[in-house]
Amino acid sequence: MNNQPIIALDFPDRLSMSHFFTFFPKQEKLFVKVGMELFYKEGPQVVEQLIDQGHSVFLDLKLHDIPHTVYRAMRNLGKLGVSITNVHASGGIEMMRAAKEGLLEGAQESGKKERPKLIAVTQLTSTSEEMMQKEQKIPLGLLECVLSYAQLTAKAGLDGVVCSALEAKDIHSQTHPDFICLTPGIRLIEDNNGDQKRVVTPDQARALTANYIVVGRPITKAQQPYEKYQQINQLWNGEK
Ligand code: C5P
């Protein structure tokens, strides 16, 4: 599935986000990710503003609570008109099903035609195998745990998971070919890796069967963000 790279809008506030958009042509419709930092500062209005401007939004809030609370929260997120949002798979199958029900109900109420996609975080990339075994008391290898959560997510009827592109082939083979693998940790060869450890280039991500890529700092910190975005987009879509 080839599509636009999702730009992670990891900015402290709306003002710095708006400054970033000045580097892009006004008519350019983007796919962006809004995370906790921006959402908790600016509230749902920032998401509504982006959607009103014609952008698609992946709202990355990683919900994890009792099923009823997640259901109610997801109904509100569904009403915003987001294209993708997410939960933690460790919340369990009942919570994931409740999340999907709430999201779809909210979306229906919003009147948006596109059905929002719901994906799950398996293990955060900041969790090492040692931490998982010692702190979470999960006696599995990290990949084994990721695959097990991916299967649980598919069983709950969700659309996919956030994962490393390096895990995408295994996840597709353990779930189904349409299962979404949305992958951060994308860098060009000349980029600084920052705190990302297992990185791949956009064309490698495509070859590894990733369905979406999320790119933050390589674009947001670039001297020429739009040029960098186009370069990444072309590599991702196999045009270069
Ligand atoms: O700047 P960079 O390209 O590393 O940004 C990647 C984005 O993806 C960040 O918003 C980060 O929080 C997010 N992310 C991640 N790893 C995950 C889940 C989300 O890097 N497992």
Strands 212-215 and 160-162: unpaired
Among residues 240, 234, 230, the alpha carbon closest in space to that of 23 is found at 230
The answer to whether the beta carbons of residues 52 and 70 sit under 8 Å apart is: no
| pLDDT tens per residue, range 120-138 | 999 998 889 999 999 999 9
Q: Chain centroid to CA 155: how far?
A: 20
Number of the ligand 1 atom closest to the C-alpha atom of 196: 4
Residue 109 in tokens: 């109420």
Q: Which domains, and CATH codes, for the chain?
A: 6-236 (3.20.20.70)
- On the question of pLDDT at 2 being above 60, the answer is no
Strands 56-63 and 84-88: parallel
127 pocket-lining for ligand 1 (C-beta < 6 Å):
no
Residue 183 has a pLDDT of 97
Helices 93-110 and 142-155: crossing angle in degrees, nearest 10, is 50
Beta-bridge partner residues of 58: 33, 84
* CA–centroid distance, residue 109 to ligand 1 (Å): 30
Number of the ligand 1 atom closest to the C-alpha atom of 60: 19
Strands 212-215 and 31-35: unpaired
Test site for ligand 1: of 126, 214, 219, most ligand atoms within 8 A of the Cβ? 214
Residue 145 in tokens: 């745990």
Give the C-alpha separation, 11 to 36, whole Å: 10
Q: What is the mean pLDDT of residues 97-119?
A: 94
Catalytic residues: 62
Give me the phi and psi of 186, to 5 degrees please: -105, 130
The reported pTM is 0.95
* CA–centroid distance, residue 198 to ligand 1 (Å): 12
Determine whether the annotation assigns residue 203 to a binding site.
no
